[in-house]
A = this chain, B = another copy of it.
Amino acid sequence: MTTPALQQQPTPERFFNAINAYELTEAIKSAVELEIFTAIAEANTTSAMIAKRCEAAERGVRILCDFLTIHCFLIKEGAHYALAPDSALFLNRHSPAYVGTATEFLLTPWLRECHAQLTEAVRRGGTALSAGMLEPENPDWVKFANGMMPLMQRPSEMIAAELRKGGEAHKVLDIAACHGIFGISVAKQNPSAHIYASDWKNVLEVAQKNAKAMGVGDRYHLLPGSAFETDFGIGYDLALITNFLHAFDPPTCATLMRKVHVALNPGGRVAIAEFVPNADRVSPPTAAAFSLMMLAATPSGDAYTFAELENISKDAGFARVELAAQEIGINRLVIAYR
């Protein structure tokens, strides 16, 4: 990102590039669909070799690979392409950290349409579309659960490790469990812990399948239905709320947090993984920018600052709220103590 102050003379170049920014979205999507990164990982390094492996035209591959090089996803030396380090780890289908599956949800037509109507969303102060994603049993959340797990694998392990430092967990509530990976990682690092996963019934089928596959199925329990209505029970020492509060306004968040407060034992903790911008709301860039996604896609969601999450938690009765020092992938970890 260039800062305007560094420019010698104003040019419309940044405007031109910003208007065409959607080309990068399409280029990454196409590269994932055609398995360009995987082809290069398999030692196909020229456009001719990649084209053969990907069943595409050499000319098309050459232009796409040059574009990906311009955006630093590839490295070009002479006529040979190589993978940038993060492309090698996350975009090669043979890598255990492959995240290419996330494109299906992140670019679901409904989400694209929300942004196509961004002007109306700015006018209204909330999504121009109907509740959509927040409706019960919405199949897009099954797509999300299937597609986003790889992106969250490493963050979930980091969060589980951070929480483990504060003591062993025995009964864990995982709200908006989704693919289940956050609760599953806690289960793996806390051998006696039982996980109670809350989400829509169709989504929990994905989480349960993952829990079984990862060897914690016998300690995995389902709480199907809306997190705002389901009876969580009591006696939890840990609750997880991962990338969920951003979909709601602060009073709604506080309502949920109050419900969690009741379910926790004294001394119990809530781990909130979220996009947490600084107080200026414009840094760090990825967390701060997430606010626009919520404007486009939800009636009143937002990326909340730590002060806002602290207020929400204290409104709900929590005694103390902390921001973990380490970044967790593109999220931060906030811990509220009952």
A interface, CB within 8 angstroms of B: 1-4, 7, 10-30, 33-34, 55-64, 66-67, 69-73, 75-76, 84-91, 97, 99, 102-103, 106-107, 112, 115-116, 118-119, 121-126, 151, 280-283, 285-286, 288-289, 291-296, 302, 329-330
A288 touches B70 (CB 8 A): yes
What B residues does A22 contact at CB under 8 A?
A: 21-22, 24-26, 112, 115
From B19, B66, B292, B294, give the contact of A103 (CB < 8 A): B19
What B residues does A29 contact at CB under 8 A?
A: 19, 118-119
The number of times this chain is found in the oligomer is 2
What B residues does A302 contact at CB under 8 A?
A: 63
A11 and B123 in contact (CB under 8 A), knowing A70-B289, A71-B18?
Answer: no
A85 touches B14 (CB 8 A): no
**Measured CA separation A21–B70 after assembly (Å):** 15
From B18, B28, B62, give the contact of A15 (CB < 8 A): B28
Cβ of A22 to closest chain B Cβ, rounded Å: 4
A282 and B66 in contact (CB under 8 A), knowing A20-B106, A122-B30?
Answer: yes
B115 touches A23 (CB 8 A): yes
**Measured CA separation A329–B85 after assembly (Å):** 33
Decide if the interface of chain A is mainly helix, strand, loop or mixed: helix
Closest to A57 in B: B125
What B residues does A330 contact at CB under 8 A?
A: 11-13, 16
Closest to A11 in B: B329
B18 touches A121 (CB 8 A): no
B7 touches A107 (CB 8 A): no
A55 touches B25 (CB 8 A): no
What B residues does A59 contact at CB under 8 A?
A: 125-126, 295
From B21, B86, B118, give the contact of A30 (CB < 8 A): B118
**Measured CA separation A84–B89 after assembly (Å):** 37
**Measured CA separation A296–B23 after assembly (Å):** 9
Cβ of A106 to closest chain B Cβ, rounded Å: 5
**Measured CA separation A125–B70 after assembly (Å):** 19
B281 touches A66 (CB 8 A): yes
A123 touches B291 (CB 8 A): no
From B12, B60, B285, give the contact of A90 (CB < 8 A): B12
What B residues does A121 contact at CB under 8 A?
A: 60
Cβ of A78 to closest chain B Cβ, rounded Å: 9
What B residues does A280 contact at CB under 8 A?
A: 76
What B residues does A24 contact at CB under 8 A?
A: 18, 21-22
What B residues does A90 contact at CB under 8 A?
A: 10, 12, 15
Jot down 23 A-B pairs with beta carbons below 8 A, ordered by A: A4-B87, A11-B330, A12-B90, A12-B97, A12-B151, A13-B286, A14-B86, A18-B71, A19-B25, A19-B28, A20-B289, A23-B296, A29-B119, A34-B123, A56-B123, A57-B122, A57-B125, A57-B126, A60-B123, A61-B122, A63-B291, A67-B288, A76-B282
From B66, B87, B89, B116, give the contact of A291 (CB < 8 A): B66
